[in-house]
Each structure stands twice: as C-alpha cells, then as structure tokens.
Amino acid sequence: VTPSELLTSDRLGIELELENVQNRPSMAYWDVTEDGSLRNYGAEFVLRGGMGGLELENAVEELFGWLSGGNYEANWRCSTHFHVDMLDFTFDQVAKFILLYATKESELFALSDVNRKYSNFCVPVCDSMPFHKKLMRGIKTLTRTPSLGQKYTALNVLPLLTQGTLEYRGAGPITNREQMIAMISTLQGMKATVRASGEATAEEFLNG
C-alpha cells in the first residue's frame, strides 16, 4: 500500500470472517479467533484496535499476504465488518455521518457484495428507517439501553455506547485487496466530507 491509496489517516477497526481456516496464523496486526456463527473451522480476523495511516497500511499488507496462500473459504455465511471511529466527532457530526451514510448505502453494498443487502444480519437503513429516525431524534441523549436498537442493521450504532464507533456490517467477505482499499477509502471519505461541513447542523447538512 502506498500512502496515496488510503484517503485519510482516520482510524478504522476491521473484522473479516472466513471458513475452512484449519491452520490459524500468528499475525502482528490481527487476532485470529474462533467464530461460533460460522462452520467448518470458521475464524474471524480482528484488527487489534482501531488503526489509521501507516499502521493500517501495514495491517492490510499483512492480511493480504496471508490470504494470497488461499487456505480458507469465503462464502455467503462470511462477512467483513468495519468500525468507523467516532471518538473525534461531536454528536452532531455523528448524526451527519449517519445521514450521509444513508445516501451512500447502495454504493457501499456494491463495493463488495450487492447481495448482502438481502441478509437478515445487515438490514439496510432504508428498511429500518423507524429505528434510525428514532436514533436521530435522540442522538444527543444516548444512554446504554436495549431499546436503542438492534445489532443486525447494516449500520450498527450500538458500538457507539461501548467503543465509540459505528459498525458497517454490509460487506461480504473481502478477499480482494483493491476492494478492501476501496471500502476503507470510501468510509474515510465520508468522515472527511462531514468534517469539511464545518458548523453546519445535521439538518443544514442534509438539505444543503
């Protein structure tokens, strides 16, 4: 990865699920753990904390260095999750990011596996708008409560309360390096767009 391939240095967390991983590698940037939701030696490659910049570039290189060996299976049960760091954003900026995400959701699905939008484990925002509208109304008073929402939406907001992230769950198992870079850059670009909007409120951002 060259520095120009990643759009910004914003931090992301990444989780890649694969099956038939019979020999678990020891890696510098990734924890490789058992995943009970998968079959046939299912494993999850979890980035060790949110990373950005050169550290994230190195992590991508390490992951795809291992994937080039082909000792795995990527199928419809597998997926890739991205945790977008929101700790440097205000509540209003988080709201703007969610609004922007809603306009780009189809683009994000298309970047990896358009069929993921039909999965029960990542229901699109357009199919869960009552929940997201409720979230937008109450985003400045978030509390740790089960009524906030469900995990299995394409944009899972529950990690805001525990990790300070928004989790995008709509990607299939990304085993193509260019697709991974495109997904990372798109999510980073969305943060950059929100950051550039300055003092505009979420309503002004949406209408502008």
Summarize pLDDT for 79-96 with one digit per residue, the tens.
Answer: 999 999 999 999 889 989
Q: How far apart are the first and last CA of the chain?
A: 35
pLDDT tens by residue, 104-155: 888 888 887 777 766 766 677 766 555 555 555 555 555 444 444 567 788 9
pLDDT tens by residue, 19-77: 999 888 999 999 998 877 888 888 999 999 899 999 999 999 999 999 998 789 999 88
For residue 22, give both structure tokens: 């019979």
Distance of CA 203 to the CA centre of its chain: 24
Name residues whose C-beta falls within 8 Å of residue 74's C-beta, 6 or more positions apart in sequence: 18, 19, 172, 173, 175
Question: Residues 58, 60, 62, 64: is their CA dihedral positive or negative?
Answer: negative
Q: What are phi and psi of 43, to 5 degrees?
A: -140, 150
By DSSP bridging, strand 80-85 and strand 30-34 are unpaired
3-state secondary structure 22-66: CCCCCCCCEEEEECCCCCCCCEEEEECCCECHHHHHHHHHHHHHH
